[in-house]
């Protein structure tokens, strides 16, 4: 919701996100300037399209966005309502076919543009306005459902961030702000190498699943590929065992770390990960390694700027804090394990809805 006390929202390409107008980060102009920029006035059912920078990004103007203004990076598509419904046109332009039509009309090399004149030449499959209305509303409802689940996903991420701050000690403290019932002892401090074995040696199997640095996003393994020992990449060295933690040593601020709990033992990770085999609770340590406090310490010990990295030896000498009680470790680990599963489940719901929408777009608008 725009803050009317600031003036009139003045949108750029960065305010067009997945077919919606996102007010966050927008600048504002005075009413006087707004009146002078009459060509940029938005009206309900308009479509805003980026013609310079963020090319092809789109946003739909609903009742709440009517009366806003746009800068020169953007253009307005306003349809003849007797022939073409704005929500229908938006969904066509978002579809693979629509995006391909826009892509092949881009001009320029170093500074690409999407001239409004060539956008007018895009052929749109048109049905009766009544059917367009139903199709547009169907996708609008689907978009709202995606937004709802995306919001739940983001809320769970914020909850996890807050819990990581409160269930682990902060700023060199020996106890966290929040404790589980019946636990009050101070936590211990030790080097990582004193609570875990690093990069244990092992003999690689003849055939295995290889996990490289692009295979883990967040705390989830999203891909892997089958390799044979003789032809595998030289970086395929870390044979996983249940309970091992694989810590990304390159750009550790991404927090793409993985706790291996698969029953299939034939997984081999890249040497871009430090393999950590804990002798304290693995789910607890995994959660600890994801805290902002620890990641900051890792970054302070990294080399490089564009691709900061830490070697396994330096990582192993960093200090960690943990409760002596195995039961407290288990409770904290189990809590974050359940929270991670909820986050993953919610993320998959969003991805499934987006895939459903994509499939429907390609079938209904072609």
| Residue 210, beta-bridge partner list | 225, 268
Nearest to 336 by CA among 297, 302, 289, 280: 289
Spatial distance between the Cα atoms of 194 and 196, rounded to a whole number of angstroms: 6
Per-residue confidence (pLDDT) for residue 170, from 0 to 100:
87
Four-residue CA torsion sign, 132, 138, 141, 147: negative
Give the rounded percent of residues in the chain with a pLDDT score beyond 70. Answer: 98
Q: What are the backbone dihedrals phi and psi of residue 44, each rounded to the nearest 5 degrees, phi first?
A: -50, 135
Nearest to 366 by CA among 80, 77, 94, 95: 95
Chain centroid offset of residue 34 CA: 35
Spatial distance between the Cα atoms of 165 and 17, rounded to a whole number of angstroms: 30
Report, as ranges of residue numbers, the positions in the chain whose pLDDT lies below 70: 1-5, 366
Helix (H, G, I), strand (E, B) or coil at 90: helix
Q: What is the pairing mode between strands 267-270 and 236-239?
A: antiparallel
Strands across the sheet with 74-77, in order?
58-60, 47-50, 74-77
- Residue 52 DSSP one-character state: B
Nearest to 240 by CA among 215, 209, 280, 207: 209
Spatial distance between the Cα atoms of 25 and 9, rounded to a whole number of angstroms: 10
Token representation of residue 277: 């085999």
124: left (phi over 0), alpha (psi -120 to 50) or beta: beta
Per-residue confidence (pLDDT) for residue 148, from 0 to 100:
95
User: CB–CB of 110/81 below 8 Å?
Assistant: no
Strands across the sheet with 236-239, in order?
225-228, 207-211, 267-270, 236-239
Other beta carbons within 10 angstroms of residue 96's beta carbon come to 12
Q: What angle, rounded to 10 degrees, do the helices at 129-166 and 292-300 form?
A: 80
């Amino acid at each position: 919701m725009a803050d009317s006390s600031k003036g009139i929202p003045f949108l750029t390409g960065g305010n067009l996100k997945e077919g919606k107008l996102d007010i966050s980060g927008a600048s504002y102009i005075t009413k006087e300037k707004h009146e002078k920029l009459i060509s940029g006035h938005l009206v309900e059912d308009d479509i805003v399209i980026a013609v310079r920078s963020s090319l092809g990004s789109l946003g739909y103007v609903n009742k709440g966005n009517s009366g806003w203004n746009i800068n020169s990076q953007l253009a307005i598509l306003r349809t003849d309502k007797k022939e073409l419904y704005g929500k229908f046109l938006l969904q066509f332009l978002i579809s693979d076919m629509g995006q391909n039509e826009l892509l092949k009309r881009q001009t320029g090399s170093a500074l690409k543009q999407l001239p409004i004149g060539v956008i007018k030449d895009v052929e749109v499959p048109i049905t009766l306005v009544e059917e367009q209305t139903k199709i547009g509303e169907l996708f609008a409802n689907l978009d709202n459902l995606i937004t709802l689940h995306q919001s739940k996903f983001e809320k769970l991420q914020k909850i996890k961030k807050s819990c990581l701050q409160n269930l682990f000690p902060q700023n060199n403290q020996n106890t966290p702000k929040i404790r589980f019932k019946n636990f009050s002892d101070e936590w211990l401090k030790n080097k990582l190498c004193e609570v875990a074995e690093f990069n244990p040696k092992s003999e690689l199997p003849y055939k295995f699943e290889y996990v490289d640095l692009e295979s883990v996003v967040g705390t989830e393994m999203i891909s892997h590929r089958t390799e044979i020992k003789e032809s595998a990449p030289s970086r395929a060295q870390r044979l996983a065992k249940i309970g091992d933690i694989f810590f990304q040593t390159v750009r550790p601020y991404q927090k793409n770390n993985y706790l291996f709990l698969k029953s299939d033992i034939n997984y081999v990770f890249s040497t871009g990960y430090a393999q950590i085999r804990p002798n304290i609770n693995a789910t607890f340590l995994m959660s600890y390694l994801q805290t902002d406090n620890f990641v900051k310490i890792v970054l302070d010990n990294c080399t490089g700027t564009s691709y900061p990295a830490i070697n396994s030896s330096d990582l192993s000498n960093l200090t960690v804090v943990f409760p002596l009680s195995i039961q407290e470790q288990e409770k904290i680990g189990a809590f974050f394990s359940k929270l991670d599963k909820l986050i993953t489940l919610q993320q998959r719901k969003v991805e499934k809805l987006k895939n459903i929408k994509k499939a429907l777009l390609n079938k209904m608008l072609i």
